[in-house]
Every structure is written in structure tokens, then in C-alpha cells.
Amino acid sequence: MPSGELCVPKNELDISATLECGQVFRFRRFYPAGVEAQPAWELISSGMRCLLFEDGAIVRIRAGKEDLPYFKNYFDLERPYAPLIRKLRRLEPGPLLKKALSFARGLRLLRQDKFETLIGFIISTNNNISRIRGIIERLCAALGERREGLGEGGAGRPAGEKGPQGSFFAFPPAEAMARAGENFYRNLGCGYRSPWLFKAVKKVLETVNLEALAELPTEDLIRALREFEGVGPKAADCIALFAYGRHELFPVDTWMKKAYRDLFQDEAPEKTMRKRLMERFGPYSGLAQQVLFYYYRSA
DNA sequence: GGACAGGTGCGGT
DNA sequence: ACCGCACCTGTC
């Protein structure tokens, strides 16, 4: 397969900050053969894969030539982030966000696949990241289509480190996930989320067109997402933010409760925290949330 | 072993 | 509306 490459300045895209701030699950850091201590990343979205490399002040996104437009949109590369960061800093000049911003320089909000994001955040409920990722990988290996992608060799790699192989598994379509049945999700280790997943998949096949929801104003979109069992206030905000580009939302998770206390010096119910944070950060709420998440979680 | 995880639905006030 | 609680399960 002919491959192609997108080049982005590092101040516009920091791979680690963008992938490790909690918005996406299917990625992996690896160490390319022959390059001393220079990490790279493998990212799979929907049915496509790209490899990301840091090369001085430049980030290279390598993928199959026909997949490049998808990743250009996925990384939202048409939108310069520097102005957004400046405006955000002006809205909240305090030391906390200032530190977080400098720590998360180059973090971008991704434009992810709607179905994959819905399923991912149902799985994420009261769950930890390593387990979430394990479940998703097993899900894709069991039901996803095997695809050929850019390989990455393996010579010179430290023992135990495995680079991306020539093939990978696409995220499964709803049809395959419905055929698998509820018990399949139990066996994957989804526990009490299993019926939620099975019902969500059926809903997507039978009544709700996820693409059509993009036309709804944000409040209605949230309401529609909340009708999926297992999608509460936090997951609905995440799905609307990461898959529908609703940057005005501020998902409140355990980390953001801490951030709220640090910013406002008081205690409040989650709903109030969300409201006040969204008022504070306006159209940059989602960006602020990710920047703070990355900062708090890495600290 | 027990606590914990990027919450949610449920049943009490 | 606003609590408080139980909850599958792998990992530390």
C-alpha cells in the first residue's frame, strides 16, 4: 500500500499530550528499531491506523495515502490551536491553568468516530484505563475486521518490546457487535456494563442514527446521548466533546473535581461544578478540561 | 486480601 | 433536586 505523511510543527501537535489526556483509548507507544530512545506511537481509529513520529520540532503522521484525509480531519489540523490557547489563557490567567497549559503545550482535541466513542465511554464507566484498553483490544480482535497497514519491522528492538505489525483490527461495526450477544460482553470482562453495551448497539442499529445527532444543538444532543443506558452526565459530555466537537462542554470526572476545588476554593455538587466551569471557560471548556486532566493525571 | 478505577442507576430523603 | 449506595473485574 502506498503510504503518505503529514507534517505538523510540534507546538501545534504534541503526541503524548494529545493521546494521553484521556480522550482516546486505542493507541500505544513503541520504540522504533534503530532510533535510540526516540518513542513513536501507533494509533488506530475506526478502521484505520497511523504511526506518529517526533522528529525534532516536527511531528510526522504516517498512514496509507488514502487514509491521510481522515487523519487530517481526525487531528483537526485545519484549526490552528495557538489562538485558542491565547484566548483560554486570557479567560483564566490564574497560575493553575497557566502551569497546566505550559505542561500540555501541543494538546489537541480529536474528532473521533461517533460509534467507537459511544462504546468506549460506556466501557469506561467506573473502570480504569488499562482495563478499558484491554477490553477494547479484545473486542476488536474478536469482532473487528483484520486490516493490513504499515508495518514497522522489529530488528534492534529491546526484548519484550513489540512494534506495530503489518496487520491490525478495525473497530467492529454495530452489526457484528449485535450478533455477538450480551454474553459475549460478559466474557470480555465488561461485567455489569454488558447489557448496556448490547442495548446501545441495538439502539444504534434500530432507532438512533448517531450521524444525524450531529445536527442537534448541544443540549438536545446531550439529552439524546443520555437515553443510552450506561451513558450518564460524564460520558455524555465526553462523547459530545470528543466525537461531536462540542468544545463548550466540560466533562467532570474525579480529577476535575479536584481541579474545581483548586480553582474555586470551594465544594459543590458535580452538576454545579460543571455549570461554573463551563461559564468560566466558555467555548474553550473542552480544551481546558483536557489540559487540566493531563496536568493533574501526570502530576 | 482490600482498595481502587476517568461513573451510573437506583432507591432513599 | 440532592444524596448515598452497590456494582463486574483486573491491577496495584
Mean pLDDT, rounded, for A191-220: 97
pLDDT given for residue A280 in this prediction: 96
Looking up cell 535510540 gives A36
Q: What local confidence, expressed as pLDDT, does residue A161 receive?
A: 59
Assess whether A127 (CB) lies less than 7 A from strand B.
yes
| Strand B contacted by A236 CB (< 7 A) | yes
- pLDDT of A32 higher than 70: yes
Q: Are A124 and A139 in contact (CB under 8 A)?
A: no
| pLDDT value of residue A271 | 94
> Which amino acid would we find at residue A187?
N
Distance from residue A271's CA to nucleotide C2's C1', rounded to whole Å: 10
- Is the shortest CB-to-strand distance from A136 to strand B under 7 Å? no
Contact A249, A275 (CB under 8 A): no
Cβ of residue A290 lies below 7 Å from strand B: no
Task: Kindly tell me if the per-residue pLDDT of A150 is higher than 90.
Answer: no
pLDDT digits (tens, 9 = 90+) for A159-182: 555 678 789 999 999 999 999 999
> What's the burial of A229, exposed, middle or buried (CB within 10 Å: 0-12/13-18/19+)?
middle
Percent of chain A with pLDDT over 70: 95
State the pLDDT confidence band at A36, using cuts at 50, 70 and 90.
low
Identify nearest nucleotide to residue A251 by CA to C1′ distance.
B6
- pLDDT of A251 > 60? The answer is yes
Q: Give pLDDT, residue A162.
A: 67
Rounded CA–C1' distance between A157 and B3, in angstroms: 37
Straight-line distance from CA A139 to C1' B8, in Å?
Answer: 22
Structure confidence at residue A156 (pLDDT): 44
Cα–Cα distances in angstroms (integers) from residue A30 to residues A11, A13, A17, A33, in the given order: 22, 18, 16, 9
pLDDT of residue A2: 87
pLDDT at A66: 95
Answer yes or no: are the C-beta atoms of A278 and A249 closer than 8 Å: yes
What ranges in A104-164 are assigned the alpha helix state H?
114-123, 129-143
The residue that leads in pLDDT, A50 or A157, is A50
Give the pLDDT score at A158. 52
> CA A75 → C1' C1, Å?
39
All cell numbers assigned to A212: 444525524
Give me A34's grid cell: 534503530
Question: How far, in Å, CA of A93 to CA of A111, rounded?
Answer: 27
Predicted confidence at residue A154, as pLDDT, reads 46
What was the pLDDT predicted at A155? 45
Closest CA to A88 of A293, A295, A286, A249: A286
Close Cβ partners of A297 (under 8 Å, ≥ 6 residues apart): A21, A22, A255
Q: What CA–CA distance (Å, rounded) separates A47 from A30?
A: 20
- Which residue's alpha carbon is at the shortest distance from the C1' of C7? A192
A113-119: average pLDDT:
98
Q: Which residues pair with A62 in a beta bridge?
A: A5, A51
